[in-house]
């Protein structure tokens, strides 16, 4: 994903401003993501979607009272207003002595957690914070845009070719997502990573006589190399639909 701003700095600045404005504790969470997908029907493209989203959520604690506010506008003036809104909401909520953000020992080692290999200290030590093991795959971020079309069409061909009783499709498609996340709190929490995932899905309709049955199969992976071949996903979906006919 093309980096548009340093969201680590954004999160830290918002949390710091909240404390300056009167919050005892504050935590900001920022995410920017890009999603692209394709749906096909009867050998042709039915729908192509590409969207980018962003947002920041702020949690503040004022006198044991919890307030939360969210925005999709990351301009400084909007974020300043967000801080004031979160604090105002906190002041209107009920006080609870249990309202508190993690700090000290509760945060120790949190940034070293690995998604797939928690037992590998060496790999954790070598991993960059923004590319936690198992969460990011450069192959997905730089994928050929036509991959989704080819994969979706292959899914449909495989499902329809499995059995003549597969007569229609409720949905067939492929897509990928690239995202960046950052978190910062006044109690010392700091975190930042890039993530990706790609997916295939197929939902065929099987018909025999007056009986209609629908099933589906999906594969979702953080790594493109681990994603099942489209033909395999389409065949599994078709097998499941036909099996439901009895």
What pLDDT does residue 155 have? 97
Average pLDDT on 198-202 reads 98
Global pTM value: 0.80
Return the higher-pLDDT residue of 108 and 95: 95
Question: What does the block give as tokens for 168?
Answer: 């229609």
Q: How confident is the model at residue 81 (pLDDT cuts 50, 70, 90)?
A: very high
**Residue the block writes with tokens 């504050």:** 26
Q: How many CA atoms lie within 13 A of 197 on its CB side?
A: 8
Q: Tell which residue, 168, 151, 156, has the closest CA to residue 229.
A: 151
Burial pattern 232-244, b for ≥16 Cβ within 10 A else e, equals bbbbbbbbbbbee
Q: Tell which residue, 240, 227, 218, has the closest CA to residue 198.
A: 227
Rounded to the nearest integer, the mean pLDDT of the chain is 89
Give the pLDDT confidence of 150-184 residue by residue, as tens digits: 999 999 999 999 999 999 999 999 999 999 999 99
What pLDDT does residue 4 have? 60
Give the pLDDT confidence of 103-137 residue by residue, as tens digits: 876 776 554 332 333 343 334 333 444 556 789 99
SS (H, E, C) 18-41: HHHCCCCEEEEEEEEEEEEEEEEE
């Amino acid at each position: 994903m093309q980096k548009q701003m340093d969201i680590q700095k954004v999160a830290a600045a918002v949390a710091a401003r909240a404390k300056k404005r009167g919050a005892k504790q504050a935590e900001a969470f920022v995410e920017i993501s890009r999603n692209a997908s394709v749906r096909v029907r009867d050998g042709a493209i039915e729908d192509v979607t590409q969207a980018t989203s962003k947002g920041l959520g702020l949690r503040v604690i004022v006198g044991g009272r919890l307030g939360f506010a969210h925005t999709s506008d990351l301009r400084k003036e909007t974020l300043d207003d967000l801080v004031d809104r979160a604090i105002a909401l906190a002041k209107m909520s009920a006080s609870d002595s249990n309202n508190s953000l993690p700090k000290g020992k509760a945060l120790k080692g949190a940034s070293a957690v690995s998604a797939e290999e928690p037992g590998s200290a060496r790999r954790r030590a070598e991993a960059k914070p923004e590319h936690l093991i198992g969460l990011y795959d450069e192959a997905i971020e730089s994928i050929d845009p036509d991959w989704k079309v080819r994969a979706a069409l292959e899914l449909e061909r495989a499902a329809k070719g499995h059995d003549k009783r597969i007569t229609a499709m409720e949905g067939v498609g492929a897509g990928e997502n690239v995202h960046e996340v950052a978190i910062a709190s006044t109690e010392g929490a700091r975190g930042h990573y890039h993530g990706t995932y790609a997916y295939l899905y197929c939902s065929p309709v099987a018909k025999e006589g007056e009986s209609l049955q629908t099933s589906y199969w999906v594969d979702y992976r953080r790594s493109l190399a681990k994603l099942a071949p489209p033909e395999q996903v389409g065949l599994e979906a078709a097998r499941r639909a036909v099996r439901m006919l009895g």
